[in-house]
Structure 1
Amino acid sequence: MDISKIIGEIIEALDKKDEMREEALRITREIVRLSGDVIKALHRKNFDLAEERLRKAEELVRSLKQLLEAHPDIYYTGYVQTAHQEFVEATLFYCYLKGIEFPSPKELEVPEGDYALGLGDLIGELRRHVLLSILEENLDEAERTYRTMEHIYEEIMRLDYPKGVVNVRQKQDSARKLVERTLEDLTRAKLTKKLEDKIGEVLKR
């Protein structure tokens, strides 16, 4: 085959791949944006807005998978992984606050590695929820959430794989620090509450 014809076919194929890549970038940016909106809305207890944004993100995650079905080299790249990670984090945080069982990677239609990374990031949002609960003087909710953080941390520590399989080590290290700091904050809050209660009893007498 003439080299000019070969190059022409290569250009045609790569042009299509580049168009698909650009569309994938657009979709992933929107997934990240919507997932961030979900988390912000949840911390403000605006569940209606969170559910609306989450539904849109779910649709985009499915459309992204369909778009890149024949292009795994794009589907398993960093920016797609980041979008999945943010989506998983937002979904699991929503499920936690609503008391819903966590969906699996298959149910969310995301790769297992991306799900694991999103689960690691969930610990950060749970810590924020603990701190907000402490500010609201809801120590029971703060402790319940801390126990969930601790359990998730213990579970993700079971993921002992090299970076080439899933780059979860950084998430594990970060999770450990967050769990330790949250325990300190919760312990301090409970001790303060006990002290306030005792002072209150003394004043009543």
Structure 2
Amino acid sequence: MSLDRTEASLDKIIKPLSDEIESREFLIKNTRDVISMCSRAIIAVHAGDTVSAAAKAKEAAKLLRSHKKRAAGGLRRYLAVPEQELVEALSLIAIVGGRPVPSRESLGVSGPSYVLGLLDCIGELKRLAYDRIRAGDAAGAQDAFRTMEGLYNMLYPFAAFDKVIKEARRKLDVARILIEDTRAAVTEEARRAELLHALRGLRSMGAGDGI
């Protein structure tokens, strides 16, 4: 009995499997750079350096596009996290700049990555709202809160697809808590601002009456 044909068949199987392993290792290693750049872009946004943030996010998007060539078939899953990070960073940059949040099509990411990236952006908007409260920008904090709430309301229906979009329900639960925390902080700041305004009015009246 000859096994020549069997050996030849097995040899043909090894090559694509080896290529897949090589591509997998490449994606795991190189998509870390995309994630890192997106993280630095978000840090730059909170530091007030939107120019640097936009440059870092642009470079991350360029890298991600080049890596997609190696992500055929099942390897596509290794792009999920970097895509989410890119959506989060570019959405935050757009919101801070007063521009519309980019569409999924313009970013070239998968549907699940777009949904999860927007959910992650809600956390960054909470941080933005608190930063604005500390800076005395109550109106800016309210704008950030309204955007958080708007995103949440649009994304909430995706809780029904948790079996398909992994982590969607958990991230929605986290987002709801963040929104309630921010609502309380923004409301407290608005009341404080009203009280200060009233006190200034009383002082002005007192000064006018010669008190």
1:38 and 2:45 equivalent?
A: no
In structure 1, which of residues 60, 66, 69 is the aligned counterpart of residue 69 of structure 2? 66
Question: Once the two structures are superposed, what CA deviation does each residue of 1:22-59 show, in whole Å capped at 9, x if it has no partner?
Answer: 11112211110000011000011112211211111111
> Aligned to 1:23, which of 16, 22, 26?
26
Q: Equivalent residues in 2 for 1:81-96 (5 A)?
A: 81-96=80-95
Q: CA RMSD in A?
A: 1.5
State the shift of 1:64 in Å.
2.1
Which 5+ residue runs of structure 1 have no aligned equivalent?
A: none
How far is the alpha carbon of 1:144 from its aligned partner? Answer: 1.1
Q: Which residue of 2 aligns with 1:52?
A: 55
Whole-Å separation in 2 of the counterparts to 1:158 and 1:148: 17
Which structure has the larger Rg? 2
What residue is the counterpart of 1:126 in the other structure?
125
Superposition deviation, residue 141 in structure 1:
0.6
Deviations 1:63-115 (A, max 9, x none): 122222xx22010x2x4211111110001001111122222111101001110
Letter of the 2:112 counterpart? G
Find out whether 1:198 has 2:201 as its counterpart.
no
1:34-183 mapped onto 2 (5 Å cutoff): 34-68=37-71, 71-75=72-76, 77=77, 79-167=78-166, 168-183=168-183
Residue-by-residue CA offset, 1:110-164 (whole Å, 9 max, x unaligned): 0011100001111000110000000000001111111111111110012243333
Give me the whole-angstrom Cα distance separating, in 1, the residues matched to 2:140 and 2:164.
36
Moved more, 195-204 or 43-52: 195-204
Query: Normalized against structure 2, the TM-score is what?
Result: 0.89
CA contact (8 A) 1:36 1:86 kept: yes
Partner of 2:209: none
Contact in 2 for aligned 1:61/1:109 (Cα 8 Å)? no
Unaligned ranges ≥5, structure 2: 207-211
Report the TM-score when normalising by structure 1. Answer: 0.92
Alpha-carbon distance in structure 2 between the residues aligned to 1:159 and 1:13: 36
Which deviates further from its counterpart, 188-197 or 122-131? 188-197
CA contact (8 A) 2:148 2:179 kept: yes
